[in-house]
Amino acid sequence: MDTIYIENEVLTHPRTIAMLKRFPNARQVPIERYTDVFNAPAQNFRIQKSNPALILANKHGNRVLPTPADYHIGGKNNYYFSHMLNCIYDCRYCFLQGMYRSANYVVFVNYEDFFHDIETTISTHSSPSWYFSGYDCDSLALEPMTHFIDECIDAFSHMPNGNLEIRTKSTQIRNLLSRPAIDNCVIAYSLSPEKIATQEEHKTPSVSKRIEALKSLQAHGWKIGLRFDPILKADNFESLYSELFDQVFSHLEIQSIHSVSLGPFRLPKPFFKKMIRLYPESSLLAANMHKRGNMLSYDEQSEQALLSFCETQLLKRIKPAQYFPCVSVS
């Protein structure tokens, strides 16, 4: 990290001080609000991705938000929260490229406020509710620096009516393996066929390493989830996804997998337009897309073919109770 912007409000926060110690040679730039840097015009996501700065900030309000309608794993009340904005990985299909002007990483250091808001939200429901981490970032990728997930699990261990999903592609699981698993937490890995991951999921751990991490977590007693989202179109998609499912399910104890979800490639139209400007050479983004409402996705026939093939393959291996498609599959 070469440049670290620090909100004046968190200059003396213990987590700020601890994180700054990790980067003694970084330029430190005091700022008033993180949005002054993060939302400024005339920024280029692609350029910043090659040398992102870190922004340490305080999150004021809107810390716990309802998820989109299809974003759930069986729960009725679903929320997401983001202690961080942006991701150290560089997946070509990721909506963050289209959503944010900046590729700099924002880390909110007021973790306790997130936990307080989650606790308050839990108390508004009579039945258990779900809280998803890893919507605007990868939950674990910067864990050695932030320790957020470690503290988050501590908090959820005292909130049995709240269920936590930690979504990630990272293999930074040392802390998770050094503590007992808790019952109301699912560690969910995003998985794509190895050949797609190599080409489209830049800087991520290989799929085989992710599966190794899942295996270790499962052996340690953590509930695990598999997220096949987005499913990408290719002429050879059947062989790609069959191989992936064989690879994944041959290494894991299938009965104890908490949940498996499946999602099509879809993006809001303005995000997609921005992404093709950033990456005109991307074959993934050059594919034919069709507008449905405000979203762009593959044509309906192709999408159904992809999802229905994957669904059939998955249901040969898992029970329907473990399966949660992000859209209806006909």
Q: Which residues bind another protein (CB under 8 A)?
A: 2-3, 5, 25-27, 29, 31, 36-37, 40-44, 46-51, 53, 193, 195-196, 199, 232-236, 240, 276, 278-283, 285-288
CB of 179 to another protein, least distance (A): 36
Q: Residue 277: phi, psi to the nearest 5? A: -70, -40
Q: Closer to another protein by CB, 4 or 186: give it.
A: 4
The rounded distance, in Å, linking the Cα atoms of 8 and 57 is 9
The pairing of beta strand 266-268 with beta strand 295-297: antiparallel
The token duo for 156 is 């959820």
Q: Closer to another protein by CB, 276 or 295: give it.
A: 276
Comparing CA positions, the residue from 46, 76, 155 lying closest to residue 111 is: 155
* C-alpha to C-alpha distances, 161 to 80, 185, 213, 322, 325, nearest whole angstrom: 15, 11, 27, 20, 24
Q: Closer to another protein by CB, 88 or 181: give it.
A: 88
Q: Closer to another protein by CB, 44 or 161: give it.
A: 44
CB of 300 to another protein, least distance (A): 16
The rounded distance, in Å, linking the Cα atoms of 58 and 7 is 7
The rounded distance, in Å, linking the Cα atoms of 326 and 264 is 8
* C-alpha to C-alpha distances, 45 to 98, 205, 276, nearest whole angstrom: 9, 22, 12
CB of 49 to another protein, least distance (A): 8
Q: Closer to another protein by CB, 105 or 130: give it.
A: 105
CB of 113 to another protein, least distance (A): 26
CB of 46 to another protein, least distance (A): 6
CB of 104 to another protein, least distance (A): 8
Q: Closer to another protein by CB, 24 or 61: give it.
A: 24
Q: Name beta bridge partners: 131.
A: 79, 164
Helices (H), the chain: 14-21, 34-38, 45-49, 96-99, 111-123, 143-146, 148-157, 174-177, 194-200, 207-219, 237-249, 269-278, 283-286, 300-315
**Residues in the chain, total:** 330
Q: Closer to another protein by CB, 14 or 30: give it.
A: 30
Q: Closer to another protein by CB, 182 or 234: give it.
A: 234
Comparing CA positions, the residue from 54, 52, 5 lying closest to residue 30 is: 5
CB of 303 to another protein, least distance (A): 15
Q: Name beta bridge partners: 167.
A: 188
CB of 282 to another protein, least distance (A): 6
